[in-house]
């Protein structure tokens, strides 16, 4: 499965995932390779033979096609080199963003696709490092084969906005010509509602030789139903490419919602109404599926978060599978989506690959996820060096890049630099991860008031919205004791109650994300501070069994 709806009616798209591929490891010398069939999408950690394998492995399969083709990979963890009939067609770094290869003029017949995957750590990898979560191995998200004509719609972005005449959508597409001959035609845009109401617009497309060009239109849709958390109305946008004979040669279909997000003073506003965030940080993580959760498991997570009264999820610490974002769009779950980075020091950020890998991630995240109405904010660089001058330069460049790609959403970053952060002037929303009652015992009210007052008094974050992007405490599932010591379910329950009441009771706070939704595997080197080599701060354990804190969160979130 690639998405929760059809993205083409004209372009022929075939899913290459959802089945077994040939699989073999390329282990270091002295170790025997594993050779077998493996499920795509999937993580090789799910197979007993490769449960702890870190290194290189290849996946192969054949398909039939001819002419211009596009191979789309929704996610390979973490480095991919893709070969078609023995020729390298694309390489890509980062498990959590999509990439594609366009190959022109493939001869008619059977073709062999090989994807070499590497999940090892090393100096070349600035973002996938030994960390407080797993870096799995495998083709972990879907793969599609698309057969293209001479020109195709490469991207389609919709920006909704409210005008005096009513709701309006700016629709922008990029068209690419694969032939040396000029392409002349037009692109027709349609916006369709769920009861069939439809508005069309069109823009000319002229492409001399092999090139790309943009086309855009502004469409008034004054009867639009707004997308909101309570009533997530979705619309379909279609870009139909026609040649100068009026024949439809390609299309791209996506969904979006009419909604506007902005900040005003200390508030984040959705369609002019103040947002109050009750959220969870969630890793793509499951003991049976690794980071490659099937739809049913994603939906289960959604139901549990909803049951506890959450209205938002933070995709900590990387862009998520689009299927999950589709679910969020459909169910009205607000999303904080962030680029991939966690806890990198200035030294880590000085890795020569750091900036490029972060920027690629931002471009691919926004390029692919721009239309999701559920994403209300972009985040970057969780808990990195936002307290040093060098770090500030990186934050500035990355936040500016986001602004150049998307002017319609606020930006933020989750800081842990207690009273030393230098970057709040660069973003619209101030966000902090705090752990009173876990990593230290300062009463929550006192700690939060001190931090908040410092932000207002001494930083450029003064007067901006303020979010708590992490708070929580650890509990090993099933460990219950009257002593209520740390790691017991009782301790977690009490701590979370005090944390949430203090945070939500603070007048300056726009909301809170609990760290974290479920327990999850961490890298082996973290074993000393992580019982079971798991991050145990989940409100449910890794199998989604509720801990005592579940009922407490539910009570407090639902009271809101």
Contacts with ligand ADA by CB under 6 A lie at: 132, 342, 382-383, 416, 433, 470, 515, 535, 537
Of 303 and 485, nearer to ligand ADA (C-beta) is 485
Of 278 and 342, nearer to ligand ADA (C-beta) is 342
List CB contacts of 528: < 8 A, sequence separation 6 or more. none
In the complex, the smallest distance separating the C-beta of residue 487 from ligand ADA, rounded to whole angstroms, is 13
CA dihedral 390, 395, 397, 402 (to 10 degrees): 170
Helix axes 354-369, 389-405, angle to 10 degrees: 30
Cα 350 → chain centroid = 24
Reading phi first (left if > 0) and then psi (alpha if -120 to 50, else beta), residue 490 is in alpha
Q: Confirm if 386 and 424 have CB atoms less than 8 A apart.
A: no
In the complex, the smallest distance separating the C-beta of residue 336 from ligand ADA, rounded to whole angstroms, is 13
In the complex, the smallest distance separating the C-beta of residue 360 from ligand ADA, rounded to whole angstroms, is 22
Of 111 and 342, nearer to ligand ADA (C-beta) is 342
User: How far is 434 from 491, CA to CA, in rounded Å?
Assistant: 17
In the complex, the smallest distance separating the C-beta of residue 172 from ligand ADA, rounded to whole angstroms, is 34
Of 24 and 526, nearer to ligand ADA (C-beta) is 526
In the complex, the smallest distance separating the C-beta of residue 133 from ligand ADA, rounded to whole angstroms, is 7
Segment (H or E) for 451: helix 444-458
- The residue with its CB nearest to ligand ADA is 132
| Cα radius of gyration rounded to whole Å, the chain | 24
Of 341 and 375, nearer to ligand ADA (C-beta) is 341
User: How far is 146 from 154, CA to CA, in rounded Å?
Assistant: 12
Of 252 and 281, nearer to ligand ADA (C-beta) is 281
In the complex, the smallest distance separating the C-beta of residue 493 from ligand ADA, rounded to whole angstroms, is 17
Of 70 and 283, nearer to ligand ADA (C-beta) is 283
Burial class (CB in 10 A: 0-12, 13-18, 19+), 202: middle
SS (HEC) of 107-148: EEEEEEEEEEEECCCCCCCCCCCCCCCCCCCEECCCEEEEEE
In the complex, the smallest distance separating the C-beta of residue 96 from ligand ADA, rounded to whole angstroms, is 15
């Amino acid at each position: 499965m690639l998405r929760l709806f059809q993205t083409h009616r004209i372009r022929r798209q075939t899913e290459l995932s959802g089945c077994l591929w040939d699989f073999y490891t390329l282990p270091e010398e002295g170790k025997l390779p594993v050779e077998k069939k493996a499920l795509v999408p999937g993580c090789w950690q799910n197979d007993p033979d490769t449960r702890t394998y870190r290194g290189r492995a290849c996946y192969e399969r054949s398909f039939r096609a001819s002419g211009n083709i596009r191979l789309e990979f929704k996610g390979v963890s973490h480095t991919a080199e893709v070969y078609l009939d023995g020729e390298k067609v694309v390489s890509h770094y980062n498990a959590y963003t999509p990439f594609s290869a366009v190959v022109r003029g493939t001869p008619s017949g059977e073709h062999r696709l090989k994807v070499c995957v590497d999940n090892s750590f090393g100096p070349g990898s600035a973002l996938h490092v030994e960390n407080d979560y797993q870096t799995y191995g495998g083709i972990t998200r879907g793969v599609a084969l698309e057969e293209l004509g001479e020109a195709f719609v490469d991207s389609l972005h919709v920006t909704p906005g409210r005008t005096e005449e009513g709701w309006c959508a700016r629709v922008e597409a990029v068209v690419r010509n694969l032939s040396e001959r000029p392409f002349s035609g037009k692109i027709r845009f349609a916006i369709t509602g769920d009861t069939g109401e439809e508005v069309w617009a069109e823009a000319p497309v002229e492409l001399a030789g092999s090139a790309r060009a943009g086309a855009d239109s502004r469409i008034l849709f004054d009867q639009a139903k707004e997308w909101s958390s309570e009533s997530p109305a979705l619309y379909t946008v279609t870009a139909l490419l026609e040649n100068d004979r009026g024949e439809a040669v390609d299309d791209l279909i996506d969904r979006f919602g009419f909604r506007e997000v902005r900040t005003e003073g200390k508030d984040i506003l959705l369609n002019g109404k103040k947002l109050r965030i009750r959220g969870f940080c969630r890793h793509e993580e499951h003991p049976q599926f690794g980071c490659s959760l099937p739809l049913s498991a994603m939906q289960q997570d959604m139901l549990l978060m909803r049951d506890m009264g959450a209205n938002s999820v933070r995709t900590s610490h990387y862009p998520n599978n689009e299927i999950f974002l589709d679910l969020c769009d459909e169910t009205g779950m607000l999303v904080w989506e962030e680029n991939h980075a966690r806890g990198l020091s200035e030294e880590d950020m000085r890795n020569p690959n750091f900036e490029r890998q972060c920027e690629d991630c931002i471009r691919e995240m926004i390029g692919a996820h721009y239309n999701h109405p559920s994403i209300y904010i972009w985040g970057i660089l969780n808990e990195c060096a936002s307290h040093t001058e060098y770090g500030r330069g990186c934050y500035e460049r990355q936040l500016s890049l986001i602004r150049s790609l998307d002017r319609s959403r606020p930006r933020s970053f989750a800081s842990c630099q207690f009273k030393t952060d230098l970057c709040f002037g660069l973003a619209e929303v101030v966000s902090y991860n705090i752990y009173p009652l876990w990593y230290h015992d300062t009463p929550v009210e006192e700690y939060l008031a001190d931090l908040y007052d410092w932000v207002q008094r001494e930083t450029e974050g003064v007067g901006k919205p303020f979010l708590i992007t992490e708070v929580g405490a650890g509990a090993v599932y099933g460990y219950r004791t009257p002593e209520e010591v740390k790691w017991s379910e009782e301790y977690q329950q009490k701590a979370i109650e005090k944390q949430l009441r203090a945070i939500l009771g603070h007048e300056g706070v726009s909301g809170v994300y609990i760290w974290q939704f479920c327990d999850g595997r961490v890298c082996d080197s973290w074993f000393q501070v992580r019982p079971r080599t798991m991050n145990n701060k989940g409100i449910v354990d890794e199998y989604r069994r509720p801990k005592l804190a579940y009922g407490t969160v539910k009570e407090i979130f639902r009271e809101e």
